[in-house]
Chain A
Amino acid sequence: MSDPILGLTMLGLIVIAIMMGFPTAFTLMGMGMLFGALAFFDPAQHWWENKIFDLMVQRTYGAMNNDTLISIPLFVFMGYLIERAALVDKMFHSVQLAFRRLPASLAVTTLIVCAFWGMASGIVGAVVVLMGVIALRPMLNAGYDVRLASGAITAGGTLGILIPPSVMLIVYAAVAGQSIVKLYAAAMLPGFFLASLYVIYIICRALINPQLAPKLSADQYRVPVPDWLARLERGESKRVFGALLLAVLRPGVLAGATTPAGRPVSFGFIFRNFAAASVPLVLVLSLFCLTWWFVLVRNAPDAMLPPEVSVEQTETLQAPAEDEEVKELGAGEQEMEEQQTTRSGPLGDVAPRTVEEGAPEGFYERFWTAAAFMAALLLFYYWRMDGEQLEILKMLTSSVVPLAVLTLSVLGAILFGITTATESAGIGSIGAMYLAALQKYQRLTLWSALIGAIVGASLGSIQGETMTIIISGVLGGLFTGTAVAWGRDLATSRRLFATMKESVFLTAKTTAMVCWLFVGSALFSAVFALHGGQQVIEQWVLGLNLTPLQFMLVAQLIIFILGWPLEWTEIIVIFVPIFIPLLSHFGIDPVLFGAMVAVNLQAAFLSPPVAMSAFYLKGVAPKHVTLNQIFAGMMPYMLIVVLCLVIMYAWPGMTLMLPDFLYGR
């Protein structure tokens, strides 16, 4: 007994049932069980022989074997560890000093730190509350407009769930059967585009009406320059970077000077400062070297394929076999829904275009133009660097740079197809453990990492390729540094271990929440398809004769409205699957759709009067800040999100450029 009407009833009831506030995973499961039992009802059988029981177990096992969802616990774990290791307050302070000359520097800093920290953690509530404490008071004290200040915090706080590595995109990938890498690549540009639109908006507002964001007085952002540095500034070469270089070569220059701690300046001390000063140079250089390597060596036509590519491909070939096994074991009726629910996995995670006709057209011109530009910028930066700048740079190096390097390399490894998403997430978690160790046991971690790097590099030199040696050095350093520092911690104070325990337990709870929701929705959509509900909806929508634009508008509007009462987990797991099969009729790329849904939910989470982040901010704000002021502050950002959506639809190239470039069409 299966009936499309029953299918539609299911869909109608699920909305009501979810609003009743029962844990959604079990609501979905229960609806699936009840309606599935009806579908499989056979008077000749006892009720306990009903096939729905087997279907439930099959769907559960499917979720347990889902190779897209497997990266969720790893990314979540990495996020929780970073959240506890990277100090927002230090980050805010140093970034703010770096941007002190910009108009509305505090608001811009708030936005950037929110987005940056949110990228790693992805928990809106925690980001907003924390920034409400750390950033809101300084802004209000500096005389910033309440609306501008609160808007920057709430908009920045929600950005974290959009910009990769975000768990939301993994769940979307699992639901839509797309590859994580493609979705990450697609969300990159819109995410940063949206962030830069926010920044431009803030700066423009501050330029038009400087009263909204008064400049800090000079003594509020003065950075104390230590004595030895001041001596260098006055020294013969005038330029701090050059003077430092000279001092490294001839430590006698600084004889008699003392460090802020009161000890005489030693060679190691000078060298450390010099190393900190050259961080921007090293970062830029390694970025360009990596690009060069990726385009010309890795993707070169004649070069031997790196070993990892072949391994990835064998894995890919094996994935369909596994799917078949699940099918065989399942009841015959599942064929239909098998196609639309959890097809996913490394099928999409295929390595990027490995065969390419030499360097892409115009690569050399673009590469050298960019290199020249960056070189000029660096030269200017080092020319202008004074003692104050160096102090700020040192602060940035200790607070922002480690996290930035970790996040960017995790993302880079995924996007360039060097590793799969799961592997990057695993390495990322270990990197987060390293960061935590670095915070507590700096010296020990750095030294053991150095030893590990040497060992790793020599292991890597068995293969002889330069890049392998570098990567194995990095990995060796990462592993050894982490292992030694954590071992020491376990043996002694167990301070790190306490944060580890928190992160582990939180990861367990969050993973269980998301994956059980996925189990429930897998059963639900299986039964929904069994009743033919999906076909009814498809026929109905196609009968409306919508244009792709109209369809997109309706779909995004529905998701926007659902974003008011529901959390993103529920929307993506329950409602997005209904739209996905329709996309091909309208010729819309599911990857583009996914990126737009992700951006759209930003708007939903910023829309009065239900946006949760406003209430979080209200909770920490001083008494005189009203909820209405916060909402008024959020409105412009919501409109910016809508503008971003329009641009994304009108110009799909922005979203699809990166995935197309990296993985081909």
Chain B
Amino acid sequence: MTVQRFLLATDRISAWSGKAFAWLIVALALVVGIEVFKRYILNAPTAWIFDLNSMLYGTLFMMCGAYALAQNAHVRGDFLYGSMKPRVQAALDLTLYILFFVPGILALAYAGYGFAELSWRINEHSNVTADGPPVYHFKTFIPIAGVLVMLQGLTEIARCVVCLRTGEWPARLKDVEEIDVVGTQLSQSEFVDEESRRVAEHAQDIQDAAKHRGLGESGASPETRDGGRN
């Protein structure tokens, strides 16, 4: 199905860029750790470390926005939503994507461009310390993230349309989930019998059922459940 291939292709772009920038967390931890050593032990603090830290953190979360959207990881008030039929969900989502999502992300991409451009033009530097590092490239990530999230948002809109037509949510890319830790832990455990260990296989379903407080047993949120097709 060509539509599905298009959906997964943009998903992959978002996931790839998000995962690439996700590694900044390791960089952040190392930078903080080394700075602690330098500052407290060698008594040689670095002036621009404060800026570097917030750049790493800011870039990390901005550039992972599209990835989170592609994985449906943004928190939803899904108490009622979870018990609706996929078509109703899609209709709601479609309306709200156009009404809420598009204007805000448009602002990021469009006004963010002007914001970053001004910064480049005036060769802006951070004023946390006297000769702070430049911040224009940091600000440039705002429009870039805006474009990426917008691209993913358009994909989500396409998903809604597909779901309105077929009555079923199209699949997403398979990715690591919070609940997966149950499997990791149980596979290494020594005092648990084989039968209990098999719980890990349907941990995902347990999570879905719990999220909807038992209201939507009838295939409420298939989008995460059959995501393993890819």
Name A residues whose Cβ lies closer than 8 Å to a Cβ of B. Answer: 17-27, 29-34, 37, 48, 52-54, 56-58, 60-61, 63-67, 69-70, 73-74, 77, 80, 83-84, 87-90, 92-93, 121, 123, 125-126, 129-130, 132-134, 137, 307-308, 311, 315, 318, 321-322, 325, 419, 422-423, 425-427, 429-430, 433, 456, 459-460, 462-463, 468, 471-472, 475-476, 479, 499-502, 504-513, 515-517, 520, 523, 564-567, 569-570, 609-610, 612-613, 615-616, 618-620, 627
Contacts and interface: CB of A to CB of B under 8 A. Distances in A.
A390 to B, nearest CB: 20
Contact of B25 (A74, A460, A565, A612): A74
Nearest to A96: B191
15 contacts: A20-B96, A30-B103, A73-B57, A74-B28, A84-B185, A88-B185, A129-B207, A419-B36, A426-B29, A429-B29, A430-B29, A499-B184, A516-B74, A517-B74, A619-B206
B131 interface: no
B214 interface: yes
Contact of B128 (A58, A318, A475, A609): A318
B199 A620 contact: yes
A53 B43 contact: no
B77 A84 contact: no
A56 B107 contact: yes
**Per DSSP, are chain A's interface residues mostly helix, strand or loop, or mixed?**
helix
B179 A126 contact: yes
Contacts of B74: 23-26, 512-513, 516-517
A52 B107 CA distance: 8
B79 A426 contact: no
Chain B interface size, as a band, is: 35 or more
Interface string B204-225: 0111011101100000000000
Contact of B53 (A52, A90, A134, A422): A422
B36 A426 contact: yes
B80 interface: yes
Given A56-B107, A64-B54, A31 B75 contact: no
B182 A126 contact: yes
Contacts of B100: 17, 22, 26-27, 29-31, 33-34
Given A123-B178, A475-B37, A21 B82 contact: yes
Contacts of A566: 77, 79
Nearest to A325: B127
B25 A508 contact: yes
Contact of A479 (B33, B89, B178, B192): B33
Contacts of A475: 36-37, 41
Contacts of B31: 426
Contacts of A570: 75, 77
B165 interface: no
B61 A456 contact: no
A512 B64 contact: yes
A87 B184 CA distance: 9
Given A87-B188, A507-B22, A627-B214, A73 B182 contact: no
A316 B188 CA distance: 46
Given A322-B128, A616-B207, A616-B210, A73 B61 contact: yes
Given A18-B77, A30-B96, A137-B196, A620 B206 contact: yes
Contacts of A476: 37
B100 to A, nearest CB: 2
A69 B211 CA distance: 26
Contacts of A463: 41, 43
A109 to B, nearest CB: 12
Nearest to A473: B41
Nearest to A432: B29
A329 to B, nearest CB: 8
B120 interface: no
A41 B226 CA distance: 45
A69 B80 contact: no
For B23, B57, B60, which residue has the most chain A Cβ atoms within 10 angstroms?
B57
